[in-house]
C-alpha cells in the first residue's frame, strides 16, 4: 500500500468523521452517537456543551493529523508504518483531554454549572 493511501485511509477517514460530527452533532442524550461519558449524560446542558467542545477540537486536530500525515507521506523515504496511526491516536487523546478539562472548569461533579464571577 502506498504511503498516501495509508494516510488517507487513516487520517483522512478521521477528518471526514470529524466533519460529520461537526455538521451533525447529536441533539439529544443517547447511547449511540456523540461524546458520551457518565458526566456528559447527566443533563442536556452538559451534553450540548461537551459535544460542541469536542466536535470543534476534533475538527481542528483531525485536520492537523491529516496535514501531518500528508507531510509524512510526501517526505518519507520508506514505507510509513505506525506514524499516521500515532497521529490519529494523539488527535483523539488531545480532544478528549481538552473536553474533559473544559467540563471540569464549567461544571461540578454533580452536573451543575459553576458560577463565573
What's the pLDDT tens digit per position in 67-84?
Answer: 999 999 998 888 889 999
68, part of any domain: yes
Asked if pLDDT for residue 53 goes beyond 50, the answer is yes
For the chain, how many structural domains are there in total?
Answer: 1
**Residues near 92 by beta carbon (within 8 Å), at least 6 away in sequence:** 14
Asked whether residue 69 is assigned to any structural domain, the reply reads yes
Is pLDDT above 90 for 32?
Answer: yes
Whether residue 112 is contained in a domain is answered as no
Domain span holding position 35: 3-106
> What is the SS3 assignment for 90?
helix
Amino acid at each position: 500500500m502506498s504511503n498516501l493511501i495509508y494516510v488517507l485511509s487513516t487520517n483522512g477517514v478521521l477528518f471526514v468523521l470529524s466533519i460529520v460530527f461537526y455538521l451533525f452533532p447529536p441533539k439529544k442524550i443517547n447511547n449511540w452517537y456523540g461524546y458520551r461519558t457518565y458526566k456528559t449524560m447527566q443533563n442536556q446542558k452538559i451534553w450540548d456543551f461537551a459535544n460542541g467542545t469536542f466536535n470543534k477540537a476534533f475538527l481542528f486536530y483531525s485536520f492537523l493529523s491529516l496535514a501531518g500525515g500528508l507531510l509524512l507521506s510526501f517526505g518519507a523515504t520508506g514505507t510509513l508504518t505506525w506514524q499516521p496511526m500515532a497521529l490519529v491516536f494523539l488527535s483523539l487523546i488531545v480532544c478528549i483531554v481538552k473536553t474533559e478539562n473544559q467540563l471540569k472548569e464549567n461544571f461540578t461533579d454533580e452536573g451543575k454549572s459553576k458560577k463565573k464571577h
